Amino acid sequence: MASPALSNLLFLSLLPFLPVFAASNITPNSSLSATGGDDSWISPSGEFAFGFCQINNTSNFLLAIWYAEIPEKTIVWHAKTSSPVQTGSKVELTPNGLTLNDPSDRTIWKAQPNTAVSYGAMLDTGNFVLSGTNNSFYVWESFDYPTDTILPTQVLSLGGMLYSKLSEANYSKGRFELHFTNGGDLELVQIAWPSEIQYGYYYTSKTANPDASQSGFQLVFNQSADINIVIGNGTTVPLSWQGITPNLNNYHRATLDSDGVFRQYTCPKTSIGDQSCYCLENSGTIDCQCPHGYSFVDPNDKFGGCKTNFPQGCGVDDGTRNPNELYDMVQMVNVNFPFGDYESLGPYNQTQCEQSCLHDCSCAVAIFFRHEVLEEETAIV
């Protein structure tokens, strides 16, 4: 798989403080239901909403936060449930926190801090918070549990993570993760599906250092729409370029998209109503394609895997036909299929490697490694 273009990473300056904006308090015993209507808790400016967001006009909903003044709802956070919830689900704020129940009143998600809750609030920053009984601090906030997006004033601390959606229309956990490692590096990694085995990183900030004062400490998205890595001694590390002009009249977000690219988006608030409101700061994308003889399992989901366009496997014929008459070998250079090996043969040349696969009815791919040029060549049946 090709690595996402690193130019889509935008990291820029230090967040000096986290302002607290006035918000309409949500009192305990308040609740919202998934009905398909506009039942939600709105921030004072009206720019963000917390509630049930209907997915693709179906009976499926996410408990989510989204831009409330954009016609096509853009979700910036959602509760990490195993699947979308159904019509009739309910979220309630109690002195113990937030509880999400399905239509049968079974609890499927909750945010319950150790301290009693006096009220909840949807802030103008896009952060939904629960306040303690002394009202002097937040005992829970959505900014501490991000999904695929971070917003201005949001911080990703050591051990923090973003994960992509499975596809543009599927909010299940996807195949890519952004980690701010405990060692101090920012890393982008690919995840095997469905095993969730983590491959090696395809991007790293290289900001880890044994000396904590010289090591990465936080990923910070400040109010000027700059994203920086902050070092333990308070200095910042620009990992890319100063690409955004500060503008308080714009919406900003940074999202780990389903193709594995971490992008920063901006949208002028005055353009609300346009169908193409969000503008990609950089245009690099990944175009996944199936190998020769294969096609997408789901043409609408290019990350959903490929299937053969021909019969394959043992028992396809009676075994009397020459495999060279049934299949063609197609070479792909610099490609590997990790963790798929079931047999290793050698020393073989490339022709022997191809023939051994052709005559093995269980073989789909043969990996040929040419030591002298350090090059992998893949033959696919």
- pLDDT computed for residue 331 by the predictor: 81
Cβ atoms of 215 and 184 within 8 Å: the answer is yes
Residues 237/39, Cβ–Cβ less than 8 Å: no
Residue type, 105: D
Point out which residues pair with 370 in neighbouring strands.
375
DSSP H helices, the chain, are 323-326, 350-358
CA distances from 63 to 110, 118, 119, 144 (A): 11, 21, 18, 16
Q: What is the pLDDT of residue 22?
A: 39
Class of the 20-145 domain? mainly beta
Q: Which run of H or E residues covers position 135?
A: none
CA separation for the pair 274, 279 (Å, rounded): 11
- Contact between 205 and 229 (Cβ < 8 Å): yes
- Tell me what pLDDT residue 144 has: 96
pLDDT at 285: 56
Residue keyed to tokens 């950089």: 282
Peptide linkage before 347 cis (omega within 30 of 0): yes
Residues carrying CATH 2.90.10.10, the chain: 1-18+153-286, 20-145
pLDDT tens across the length of the chain (381 residues): 333 333 344 333 333 333 333 347 999 999 999 987 767 999 999 999 999 999 887 889 999 999 998 877 899 999 999 889 999 999 999 999 999 999 999 999 999 999 999 999 999 999 999 999 877 789 999 999 999 999 999 999 999 999 999 888 889 898 999 999 999 999 999 988 777 888 889 999 999 999 999 999 999 998 888 889 999 999 998 765 555 666 677 888 999 998 898 988 888 776 544 433 343 334 455 567 787 778 888 787 776 677 888 777 666 665 567 777 777 788 877 777 766 676 777 778 888 888 888 877 777 788 887 654 434 444 443
| Domain 1-18+153-286 bears CATH identifier 2.160.10.10 | no
What's the full length of the chain, in residues? Answer: 381
Residue pair 343/361 in contact by the 8 Å Cβ criterion: no
Sign of CA pseudo-dihedral 337, 341, 347, 353 = negative
Please give the DSSP secondary-structure letter assigned to residue 80. Answer: -
Q: CA 256, 251, 7: angle at the middle one, nearest 5? A: 40
User: How much is the pLDDT for 195?
Assistant: 79
